Amino acid sequence: MDNSAFLGACRALLGDAHVISGEADMAPFLRDWRGRFTGRALAVLRPADTEQVAATVKLCVAARIPIVPQGGNTGLVLGSVPDASGSAVVLSLARMQKVRQVDAVNRTMTVDAGVILQRAQEAAAEQGCLFPLSLAAEGSCTIGGNLSTNAGGTGVLRYGNTRELCLGLEVVTPQGEVWSGLRGLRKDNTGYDLRDLFIGAEGTLGIITGAVLKLYPQPKASVTALAAMESPAAALRLLSVMQDHCGASLTGFELMSAFCMRLVAKHFPALPQPLADGHAQYALLELSSSESEAHAAALLERALGAALGEGAVQDAVVASSAAQSRGLWDLREHIPLAQAADGKNIKHDISLPVSSIADFIAGTEPQLQAAFPGCQLVCFGHLGDGNLHFNVAPPAGVANEDFLHSQEAVNRVVHDAVAAYGGSISAEHGIGALKRDELARYKSPVELNLMRAIKAALDPLGLMNPGKVL
Ligand SMILES: Cc1cc2nc3c(=O)[nH]c(=O)nc-3n(C[C@H](O)[C@H](O)[C@H](O)COP(=O)(O)OP(=O)(O)OC[C@H]3O[C@@H](n4cnc5c(N)ncnc54)[C@H](O)[C@@H]3O)c2cc1C
């Protein structure tokens, strides 16, 4: 089948409106979120349901056309956009928007892969339940994309990554068959866990079309606090005290360096900063309670009191209203925006054993200073999950573009240190095309060969999202 016969068959299957091939109409599907790369494609295909996805994949197999699955296209590692060859199709799940079922007793929800994360949260809330996955792109990203990147976000400390929030999947295989594994079971030890293969596979093993997601009780109340401390080591002590006192009630623990807070003050001066400048590190804490706000506040104050008592914390403020709590979260959520407003920097989305984080920061920052004198570290992240955004900005007076030429050398310092501490070069965002070569450098040959064997077994023609991950 040549390309024009292929596109004709797609139009007959999906309808003319859902086979997009004009350059201008395709543009938003081909450009990555951060605007770093624009690929080319034969067409953008928009199936309406699982059967149409399966039939579309069969057409692609017959014509040997590579497929790039796409959800909300908010991915940060060039996984959801095609390469520059123009030979692939983008298969967008955006029309698959059905919340198929909410089972409040089983505490599960079955959704199409194209459901926007925020809509999934709302559908759970409408039944008095919580779907706890939450991230800044939640108004645009989809459940299929969240699963395919095993997204993290702000609730991981209490509820886990997307992998932990999924009980079952429906997948269209690279051959165009439908695997219906939409089981709402918390226990199912019947052989290899296919679900876990597809989660985090970034569209390289098949197309997720539906999922059974776990729901939780809605907390009755939550309280937020901001604490200041002298070092990352002190922040780790605070984390330990909070976990000892609050257990599973501790639902957020974010680290923000003084440099991050100053960036926010510089670019968003209207946001109140309730603690004095002059501390080295700040931690944002959130506690949730299934009883009452008074219960959460009492627990938080007792734990903070203990941390102050043992000198882990220099100062702290507890939000006394929902608005104040929002204000504290605003400080954390404006860090990515403030760093973007300040210019480009070299990003690292890393994870480490929580216990190694202070040593990692203390050891790696001097190495960066020695190699790139005056460089500025934008270090913040989900400390409770061992996940840091460890970004390196140019020295004052050095142009962004000039500094970006050092990207590889900066990556090497940071990623070598991550490897030395037993960490991961991608905590949340995945590998995509952006970190593929880094993955090859840091995974062992045994692990890479096992991954390649899985890919070859499931996708022998290599049509699923080629050039990504492996
Ligand atoms: C402002 C902002 C904040 C973010 N914050 C976080 C954060 O806190 N934590 C975090 O983990 N990530 C974060 N991200 C990254 C991104 O939002 C997540 O990776 C998200 O899960 C991607 O969902 P998506 O629907 O946009 O997927 P896309 O970007 O469309 O795709 C991502 C990958 O999944 C594949 N894919 C998509 N849908 C399917 C499917 N149905 N079947 C098979 N493969 C599929 C694609 O091929 C691609 O490889 C953030 C991004 C932005 C822009």
pLDDT in tens, 105-164: 999 999 999 999 999 999 999 999 999 999 989 999 999 999 999 999 889 999 999 999
Residue 434, pLDDT > 90, answer: yes
Asked whether 113 lines ligand 1 (CB < 6 A), one says yes
pLDDT in tens, 374-431: 999 999 999 999 999 999 999 988 998 899 999 999 999 999 999 999 999 999 999 9
CA 310 to centroid of chain Cα atoms: 35
Determine the distance separating the centroid of ligand 1 and the alpha carbon of 73, expressed in angstroms.
6
% the chain with pLDDT above 70: 100
Phi-psi region of 94 (alpha: psi -120 to 50; beta: other; left: phi over 0): alpha
Asked whether 153 lines ligand 1 (CB < 6 A), one says yes
Asked whether 426 lines ligand 1 (CB < 6 A), one says no
pLDDT value at position 154?
A: 86
pLDDT value at position 277?
A: 87
Q: CB burial class (10 A; 0-12, 13-18, 19+) of residue 299?
A: buried
pLDDT value at position 122?
A: 98
Asked whether 174 lines ligand 1 (CB < 6 A), one says no
Mean pLDDT, to the nearest integer, of 440-467?
98
Asked whether 151 lines ligand 1 (CB < 6 A), one says yes
Asked whether 93 lines ligand 1 (CB < 6 A), one says yes
Mutate to test the pocket of ligand 1, among 77, 97, 135, 380 (most ligand atoms within 8 A of CB): 135
pLDDT value at position 136?
A: 87
Asked whether 39 lines ligand 1 (CB < 6 A), one says no
Confidence band for 320, pLDDT divided at 50, 70 and 90: confident
Mutate to test the pocket of ligand 1, among 33, 68, 74 (most ligand atoms within 8 A of CB): 74
CA 104 to centroid of chain Cα atoms: 27
Distance CA(271)–CA(289), nearest Å, equals 27
pLDDT in tens, 156-191: 999 999 999 999 999 999 999 999 999 999 999 999
Determine the distance separating the centroid of ligand 1 and the alpha carbon of 346, expressed in angstroms.
20
Q: Which two tokens stand for residue 343?
A: 């210019």
What burial letters (b/e) apply to 86-114, b meaning 16+ CB within 10 Å? eebbbbbbbebeebeebeeeebbbbbbbb
Confidence band for 256, pLDDT divided at 50, 70 and 90: very high
pLDDT value at position 438?
A: 96
Mean pLDDT, to the nearest integer, of 271-287?
94
Mean pLDDT, to the nearest integer, of 239-262?
95
Q: Let me know: does 375 contact 423? Beta carbons within 8 Å.
A: no
Mean pLDDT, to the nearest integer, of 28-50?
96
C-alpha triplet 18, 209, 179: angle, nearest 5°:
125
pLDDT value at position 276?
A: 87
pLDDT value at position 246?
A: 94
Q: Which two tokens stand for residue 174?
A: 């690279």
% the chain with pLDDT above 90: 95
Determine the distance separating the centroid of ligand 1 and the alpha carbon of 317, expressed in angstroms.
34
Determine the distance separating the centroid of ligand 1 and the alpha carbon of 193, expressed in angstroms.
22
CA 164 to centroid of chain Cα atoms: 14
3-state class (DSSP) for residue 183? coil
Q: What is the DSSP string of 377-422?
A: EEEEEEGGGTEEEEEEEPPTTS-HHHHHTTHHHHHHHHHHHHHHTT
Determine the distance separating the centroid of ligand 1 and the alpha carbon of 237, expressed in angstroms.
33
Distance CA(169)–CA(14), nearest Å, equals 24
Specify the length of the chain in residues.
Answer: 470
Residue 259, pLDDT > 90, answer: yes
Mean pLDDT, to the nearest integer, of 195-211?
98
Determine the distance separating the centroid of ligand 1 and the alpha carbon of 396, expressed in angstroms.
33
pLDDT value at position 193?
A: 95
Question: Could you tell me which of 225, 221, 266, 265 has the C-alpha nearest to residue 242?
Answer: 225
The overall average pLDDT reported for the chain is 96
Q: Which residues pair with 284 in a beta bridge?
A: 226, 254
Asked whether 114 lines ligand 1 (CB < 6 A), one says no
Place of tokens 């440099």: 259
Mean pLDDT, to the nearest integer, of 341-348?
93
End-to-end CA distance of the chain: give it in Å, rounded: 28
